[in-house]
Amino acid sequence: MPLARDIIAAMAILKVIRLGHPALRTKSKEVDRKELSTKFFQKFLDDLAKTCVKNSGAGIAAPQVGKNKRVIVVHVDPKNPRYPNKKPFPLTIVVNPKVLKKSKITKEDWEGDLSVGIRALVPRSKTCIVTGLDRLGKPVTYRLDYGFHARVFQHEIDHLNGIFFIDRVKRKETLSELKEWKRYWKNKKMLRSRLK
């Protein structure tokens, strides 16, 4: 039986593609159960999860590594400096995820992406219910009542439909490169004064 450290060492970090790559604008295909059960696809799931963690992401979708399959990974770690003070969400792989229901009430908050060094304010439903399959093909349902978790799931599922977060930005003036975002927008007081 291999040790956990051996399994982790065997996982690969995949290359995250950048905005402009056609895979980010292509609708992804569903994963059938036969494909899901293969060693090759199971290794891909491990590699995608490791890529998310190593890049300090709150989530990643398969198209971000150039594979147009309906798979997302979500992992909110309170130790991640990019997401301080956020409630944790365990490392989770969801295959063929769908937003079953979402609240009409929306909230605008900052989003970024591993595929581009840009941030912007994006409106999203505050809560949602997501269904899909776990890595073993068993049905799963996530009732996401915490806004940040609901946001991450919606963001990653958008990737599966060829939608990028910048497509949902209403206030275009908030689109900022990461360095400029840290300088001009990160502070809430600065944000309020700029959006008056």
CATH number of the domain encompassing residue 24: 3.90.45.10
Furthest-apart CA atoms within the chain: distance in Å: 60
* pLDDT for position 191: 65
**pLDDT above 60: residue 177:** yes
Q: Are strands 71-76 and 59-61 parallel, antiparallel or unpaired?
A: antiparallel
Tens of pLDDT, residue by residue over 18-67, are: 999 999 999 999 999 999 999 999 999 999 999 999 999 999 999 999 99
Separation CA 4–CA 57 (nearest Å): 22
Look at the chain and report how many structural domains it folds into.
Answer: 1
Amino acid occupying residue 96: N
Specify the pTM.
0.91
* pLDDT for position 9: 56
Decide: residue 172, CB within 10 A, 0-12 exposed, 13-18 middle, 19+ buried: exposed
- Cβ-contact 5, 50 below 8 angstroms: no
Given 156, 173, 177, 180, the catalytic residue: 156
**pLDDT above 80: residue 194:** no
* pLDDT for position 193: 62
Mean pLDDT of all residues belonging to the chain:
92
Element (H, E) at 22: none
- Cβ-contact 67, 160 below 8 angstroms: no
Separation CA 68–CA 159 (nearest Å): 9
Q: What value does the mean pLDDT take over residues 169-176? A: 95
Separation CA 3–CA 76 (nearest Å): 25
| 156 is known as an active-site residue | yes
- Domain span at 74: 4-194
**pLDDT above 70: residue 10:** no
